[in-house]
Every structure is written in C-alpha cells, then in structure tokens.
Amino acid sequence: MFSGLPPTGRVFLPRINTMKCRERLKMKRSRFLGDTLIALVLALVATGTPSYADQHAGGDSIWTRDKLTGDWGKLRSDLSKKGIDIGLRLSQYGQKVTSGGRDQNGEYGGTMDYRFNFDADKLFGAKGLSFNMHARTRFGRDVNADAGSFVLQNTGMLMPAPGDYHGTDVTGLTASQYFPLFGGLANVTLGKLDIVDTVNGFFPNLGYGQEGFWNINSTVSALPWFGAVRGLSVYGALGVTVNQEYKMPQSGVIVTGTQNVSTSWGSLSDSFDEGAWLGAFHRFLWKTDNKPGYFMVFVAGSTADQTSNDSHPVFVYIPGQGIENTDTAKPWNVALYLSQELWQAEGNPGRKVTFLTGGTVGPDDPQFAQFNFFANVETFGLMDSRPHDRMGVAGWWNGLSPNYKDLVSPVADLRNPYGFEVYYNFAINKWLHLTADLQLAKNEWADDDVAVIPGVRLVIDF
C-alpha cells in the first residue's frame, strides 16, 4: 500500500509542525528551487526555440533530433537494430499548495527513469520474447501530503516510494512472450511488475504522470484499489489477448503477490505468503465513424485476509503480542470504463480528442475507499500548428467507506474527497516538454478548505 496513505483499520492523525525555523527554511528552499526551474524554462523558450528553418534543416540539429543526446554516433540505432533499446528520461516538478489543504507549502523534486528493453528475437532468435527493466531515481520532495492523503496530485512522484524518499530502485523487471492464439495474438508477462507501467498498458494515455494529467485520480479509477493491491511494485504475472486492429489488450487475467517490493526485492515465496491478488478484464471495442471506443469491465479480489475497519471489532489477548483485532475481511472491486474518440484529424489519427470515464465499487469492509468516479477529456495536437501539444481537463470523486469514517471519528471528521484538474503540455521540441498544471481539491478532512495546487513540469528525453 502507498506509504502516504493510512493503513486500513488504523487511525491516522494530522501532521503537526512546530519547528518554525525549519518551516521558514523549507519555504525558502522551495521558493528558490521553483524560481530556478521557472527561470530555466523561460530561458529555454525565449532563447532556444528553433525557427522554422532550423526545424526543417537537414543534419543532426540538437533541436530536431528525437533525443537530447542524439544517436550517440549511430551507437543507439545500431544497438536498436541488434535488439537493445535504451530510454532515459528526466522529469522535474515544481508544485505548491498555495491555499487550503493540510499545509501551504511548495516543493521541487523529480525522477530519472532508465528503461532497457531487450528483443530476444533480434538477439538470439527467440521469436516474440523480450526482457524489460525499468529503474527509477527519485530526488527532491513532493507536496502529496500537504493537500491531503487521498488527493494524490502527483503520480510521477509516487514511485519508487512517496513522501521524502530518495534513492534508485528497479521497480520493474519482466520477461514478456508474444504468441499466436486462435488466429490472434496473446502475451504473457511475468516478473517484478511496476504497477504504474502495468496500468499504463491498459490506458496508454496515462503517460506515467509525465505526459498528461498529474493526478492519478484524473486518469484511472484508483483509490478503492490501493487497499487491495497493497503495493507500487509486486511480483506477479499478466496474460492478455491483444487486439491488433486497436493495438491494445482486449481480455486478460493478472495474479500478483501482496507484498510491496518497489524499494526492495524480498522473496517470491514471501510475496504470496499472505495470499494473492487476482483480477480479470474484458474490453468491448467498436468504431463510430472510424473513431475507436470501448467499454471495459475489470473485476478483482484478494485471497489475503486484511484487518477489518469495522468500528466494533473483536479483540482478543494473544500471549506475547498483547491485544489484537481478530476481525478480518477480503477486499474486492468491480470497475467499469467507457472511452470514445470524439474527433480525429483527417489523415492524422494521432491528432485527436478523447473522452474517458470510469468508476469502481467495492465493499465497506476492509477497504478505506468504497466508491470512485472520474471523467476526463484530452486533446492531442488540437491545433494544426502545434501537432505535438497536449491538454486536458478532468474531475474526480472518491467515496470513503462509512466503516472507515466511523473508525476514525473519535479523532477526525472525514468527508468524501473530490477534485478538478486542467493542464497544458507544450512541446518545445521532440525531447523537451513543458507542462503547466492547476488542481483544485477538497481533501478528506472536513474542516480543510479547497486546496489550490498549481504546478510546472519539465520533461527531458536523453
């Protein structure tokens, strides 16, 4: 489970900061780092944006190449031909809670993503087999706790761990095999699954929180699932059928352990000691005037017993351990999604407008969130003169479990959180993207005002 979220069945308390000098220092540091990031961006835009002639000039111009560091003297393309692809991305975030929320605070932080994909067919003739590794370095700080525990306004800073975590970890290491099935195509992936990568496989427009919406609540029906999945990176296996016309998974199953291994390795046996999380989905696909859409059903549950959040639990005395809550329950969820392309540019399907909505329902016990709903509209290259820009608007609502609200009621009065987000991703060139983002959110604390959360994101592909 996210370390920034309260464990199911436990009371969480508001953060109290009495160190005034530390608070002033943090504010000065955040302001300095944020101003530095903005100054860097403005300098890039003002002095470095290429002219029309530069953009269409021949040769390896730094402004027209796909990556900042180019082809490494043809080494990169030679490696790709042999089956080795390397992706390096730096994502930087400056974000602040300017009013409302838990605390008014601004922070700067980011991640460096390292992706290594090995095509076993090109390397040694194993058709359809590939090996993939995703490692992340996290630095700086985020404001995820300042808006509220359930707002989750920065997806990109959740991995490898939220909060003030600093370090480098392998969050995904998998083997993937494609094979023909009933005249179509299927895939089996197993290993250490990066949950954000896995979800991005179902919803390609998610963009890891680095390309589109920042808030994970704006992109998928997320919160009710956290209590059941219990990890950002888990051991498991995923089997899907692939619709080759629509280029997306159509049906499938997933089985994972219940131990989070995003910042560790642990053991495979330990991961499944307490049980397994199992899910299945099917996507009904169609086209309307050549614009694709789908309806998807996703059901999942866990065999692991989780501590009940019933406000009237059963307590027993266990020698050597003291008083324990013996009430347990098994979480489950049902999610529904509807997606439809609303507009598509003639002759360029990459320029489009999309609509996505979804929701989840789960049990009152043991999950801390029982319901969820979200909807978003995104545009990709809406203006012909800006074909690589992207923007979107979204709204979301999370329904907390009545049992959970009752459990914490002696110390906190909770409400159902909801929010709104709008962003614009400005493509300076192929390897440099600048995003402005604004979020308004009512968190789970009944006495807190609406949090106003502006942010700026700079993403560089090396």
The per-residue pLDDT for range 152-161, each reduced to its tens digit, is: 999 999 999 8
Residue 267 pLDDT level (bands cut at 50, 70, 90): confident
Q: Which of the pair, 79 or 6, is modelled with greater confidence?
A: 79
Residue showing tokens 């970890």:
169
- Cα–Cα distance, 158 to 89 (Å, whole number): 16
Tokens of 171: 């969050």
For position 373, what pLDDT does the model report? Answer: 96
> Is pLDDT at 23 greater than 90 in this prediction?
no
For position 262, what pLDDT does the model report? Answer: 92
- Rounded percentage of the chain residues whose pLDDT exceeds 70: 83
> Is pLDDT at 180 greater than 80 in this prediction?
yes
56: Cβ–Cβ under 8 A, 6 or more apart, which residues? 64
The per-residue pLDDT for range 33-53, each reduced to its tens digit, is: 455 454 444 444 444 445 444
Beta strands in 327-417 (DSSP E): 328-329, 332-345, 348-361, 369-380, 390-400
Mean pLDDT of the region 99-118:
96
242: Cα separation from own chain's centroid: 22
The answer to whether the CB of 446 falls within 8 A of the CB of 424 is no
SS3 of 285-351? EEEECCEEEEEEEEEEEECCCEECCCCCCCEEEECCCEEEECCEECCEEEEEEEEEEEEEECCEEEE
For position 49, what pLDDT does the model report? Answer: 47
Rg of the chain (C-alpha set) = 23
> Is pLDDT at 164 greater than 90 in this prediction?
no
Residue showing tokens 């730096």:
90
What is the 8-class DSSP label of residue 455? E
Q: Which of the pair, 20 or 419, is modelled with greater confidence?
A: 419
Mean pLDDT of the region 49-63:
56
- Cα–Cα distance, 358 to 182 (Å, whole number): 30
The answer to whether the CB of 72 falls within 8 A of the CB of 84 is no
For position 266, what pLDDT does the model report? Answer: 85
Residue 311 pLDDT level (bands cut at 50, 70, 90): low
Residue showing tokens 């399907």:
349
Residue 327 pLDDT level (bands cut at 50, 70, 90): low
Nearest Cα to 334, choosing from 304, 296, 306? 296
Work out the number of other CB atoms within 10 angstroms of the CB of residue 318.
Answer: 9
- Cα–Cα distance, 423 to 454 (Å, whole number): 10
Domains and CATH numbers, the chain: 20-461 (2.40.160.180)
Mean pLDDT of the region 415-442:
97
20: Cβ–Cβ under 8 A, 6 or more apart, which residues? none
For position 326, what pLDDT does the model report? Answer: 56
Query: What letter represents residue 13's amino acid?
Result: L
What is the 8-class DSSP label of residue 3? T
For position 268, what pLDDT does the model report? Answer: 85
Residue 433 pLDDT level (bands cut at 50, 70, 90): very high
67: Cβ–Cβ under 8 A, 6 or more apart, which residues? 76, 88, 430, 431, 461, 462
